[in-house]
């Protein structure tokens, strides 16, 4: 046993100060473990904490085959080593005690019948992918690894959570949603991305997920919508989130005017209701890149006239076929503009709002004289 006077200055630091150092410089964690056995033990104690700094910026869940699910964890490079240590403690040692992820090997080790992969990339985020057959114990271990807690006084935060629905295998759809919920238990989600078909059950799941995880932004990547009341579904979403992005994908040549379950829908009244005073929604973007005739000329005129009369600092952007060009103008503090392939109506204070993603800004060349 070493005497106190034999300890280095960093070994003499109080535990809370050492934890604060790791919180602010997580990339130092492996270096600290190598200093001494004492420091190694104290770092291990930090790794095992339930409360941890924000590890992930993004989590994706998708169906692979039969009952196999793939989860992808996206995190900054400076948190990779800390994440590996937590994987070893919470998942590998508890669920797969005969294996471990080697911090010195970026590719980790194959865990049969599971497959961990660490993909080093030039992207700001680094990705771990994991194929698994879900069990209660495994989902619980993964949840604790990323900082999930049942303590209502504290919630870990995650930037984006993405669920790609299993449209080809409806049998597994409900299981997939259940796995997603358990994996993210006790975690606040800033952005929720949902891709696939939308049924009544999916609407209920999305509303539940928004409420439980305090979601701020909803991003829907839509195929076919079979919900019995699409307009009511959108109003429910609008009452829950601050911003929403609807991206309607192509279904068939008979769906050029299709958007969220409605063919030739009266979108002006629906959009005005979604942005109304009794709604939480402030930013709405609708991308009909694959269905460019979804917004009728009459709806365009009505939106330009009535959104500025809402007397709320809202932002609306849409991609559609421009039926006629118009000069940019201001109305009651709103900027009304014709954009390439669409229109934009924004309260001036929201002109700097986050734009559509690059994929959403693709333009289909159309005539302005239609």
* Highest mean pLDDT of the ranges 80-94, 101-115, 205-219, 338-352: 205-219
Q: Quick one: pLDDT at residue 167?
A: 67
pLDDT at position 248 over 70: yes
Contact 125, 78 (CB under 8 A): no
**Which of residues 219 and 87 earns the better pLDDT score?**
219
How many CB atoms within 10 Å of residue 319? 28
pLDDT in tens, 333-352: 999 998 877 889 999 865 54
Q: Assess contact for 267 and 295: CB atoms under 8 A.
A: yes
Torsion angles phi and psi, residue 207, rounded to 5? -60, -45
Joined tokens for residue 267? 């979108």
Mean pLDDT for 177-189 is 92
Q: Does residue 258 contact residue 226 with C-beta atoms inside 8 Å?
A: no
Range with lowest mean pLDDT among 6-15, 137-146, 310-319 = 6-15
How many Å apart are CA 133 and CA 98, to the nearest integer? 18
pLDDT band at 330 (very low <50, low <70, confident <90, very high): very high
Instruction: Look at the pTM and tell me if it is higher than 0.85.
Output: no
Q: What is the pLDDT of residue 115?
A: 53
DSSP state letter for 214: T
Residues for the chain: how many in total?
A: 370
């Amino acid at each position: 046993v070493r005497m106190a006077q034999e300890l280095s200055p960093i070994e003499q630091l109080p535990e809370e100060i050492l934890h604060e150092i790791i919180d602010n410089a997580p990339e130092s964690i492996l270096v600290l473990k190598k200093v001494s056995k004492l420091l190694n033990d104290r770092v291990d104690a930090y790794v095992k904490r339930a409360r941890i700094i924000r590890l992930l910026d993004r989590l994706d869940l998708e169906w692979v085959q039969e009952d196999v699910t793939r989860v992808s964890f996206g995190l900054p490079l400076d948190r990779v080593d800390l994440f590996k240590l937590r994987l070893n403690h919470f998942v590998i040692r508890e669920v797969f005690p005969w294996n471990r992820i080697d911090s010195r090997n970026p590719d980790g080790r194959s865990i049969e019948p599971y497959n961990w992969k660490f993909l080093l990339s030039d992207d700001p985020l680094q990705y771990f992918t994991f194929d698994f057959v879900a069990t209660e114990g495994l989902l619980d271990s993964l949840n604790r690894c990323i900082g999930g807690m049942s303590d209502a006084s504290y919630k870990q935060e995650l930037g984006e959570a993405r669920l790609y629905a299993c449209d080809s295998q409806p049998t597994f759809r409900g299981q997939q949603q259940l796995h997603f919920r358990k994996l993210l238990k006790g975690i606040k989600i800033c952005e929720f991305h949902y891709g696939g078909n939308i049924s009544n059950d999916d609407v209920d799941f999305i509303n539940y997920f928004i409420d439980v995880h305090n979601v701020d932004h909803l991003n829907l990547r839509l195929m076919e919508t079979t919900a019995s009341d699409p307009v009511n579904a959108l109003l429910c979403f609008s009452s829950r989130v601050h911003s929403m992005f609807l991206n309607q994908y192509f279904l068939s040549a008979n769906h050029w005017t299709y958007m969220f379950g409605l063919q030739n829908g009266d979108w002006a009244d629906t959009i005005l209701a979604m942005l109304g005073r009794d709604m939480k929604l402030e930013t709405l973007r609708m991308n009909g890149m694959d269905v460019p005739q979804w917004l009728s000329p009459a709806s365009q005129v009505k939106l330009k006239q009535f959104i500025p009369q809402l007397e709320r600092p809202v932002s609306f952007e849409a991609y559609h076929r421009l039926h006629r060009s118009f000069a940019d103008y201001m109305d009651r503090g709103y900027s009304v503009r014709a954009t390439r392939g669409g229109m934009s109506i924004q309260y001036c204070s929201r002109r700097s709002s986050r734009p559509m993603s690059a994929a959403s800004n693709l333009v289909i060349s159309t005539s302005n004289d239609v």
